[in-house]
Amino acid sequence: MGAAGLGGCIFPDLSGLTTNDSAGDAAPSITSWCASQGTHQLCEDFDESDAIDPAWQRIENPGTLTLATGGSRSAPRSLLATTPKNSDTNVYTPALIQRAWTNVASHAHLDFDMQALTLDPADWGSVFQIFFGSPAAASSLVLTFKSGNVFVRESQFENGSVEHDWQHPDHAFTPSGWFHVSVDVESGPRTVTIAIEGGPTIVESLSATWAAGPPMLQLGVVYSNGIASGWQFQYDDVVFDTL
């Protein structure tokens, strides 16, 4: 693994963040995709309301988040994250939702569907992030698209800012239409497995800094640098569990 910078990115502001400490979310109040999925720590299909659930913290700076009502993986709605073009490679322009828990987790499993509506082949940016820990000391994992490739980047945060980060090898992948992403990250053996529908299965060993801690999930355009035309990603049918 080679060291790589994240352009001055810092750990997100957690002030006012809603935490979710129950073993699983309450059953959906209407018939939806999540109603058929059993009990999970988090299940989100964006179908229960015409507004984003306030349990999610929204970060839109200067990106925007809306619920799309057309072309969703499971009708009627999906999350649409849009971020504008940005020529400054030292500034990131997020459009994401995030949610945190207080249980100490050593294993996280994430499943979701997504599609890239606007993605210039020359641009790069990250589409989800999983944290173990707190702003004082945390490890994070992101999936990044760049120039027809996809790769895993991991970071170690200390006192709210990135102290170390590592970029794992590239895998050729250009997204087309909806595709499913499945992620397993384990702090014990320090491994991550990411399976991308229609693309690669990525298996990597994580750095020695990884340790169990309170989990947090970010979904949307997490990091985006030097964007020529702006990004627009659609997300649906999210399941997240930790142990």
Span 26-45, pLDDT tens digits: 444 446 899 999 999 999 99
pLDDT surpassing 50 at residue 142? yes
Measure the CA–CA gap between 51 and 106, rounded to whole angstroms: 32
Q: What is the pLDDT of residue 106?
A: 96
Task: Give the mean model confidence (pLDDT) for residues 107-135.
Answer: 88
What residue ranges do the domains of the chain occupy? 42-242
Architecture, CATH, for domain 42-242: Sandwich (2.60)
pLDDT surpassing 70 at residue 13? no
More confident residue, 20 or 217: 217
Q: What is the pLDDT of residue 128?
A: 95
Segment 194-224, tens digit of pLDDT: 999 999 999 999 998 899 999 999 999 887 7
Going through the chain in order, the beta strands assigned E by DSSP cover 2-3, 42-44, 57-60, 64-68, 78-83, 95-100, 107-118, 124-134, 137-146, 149-158, 161-167, 171-172, 179-186, 191-196, 201-205, 215-225, 231-242
CA atoms within 13 A on the CB side of 180: 9
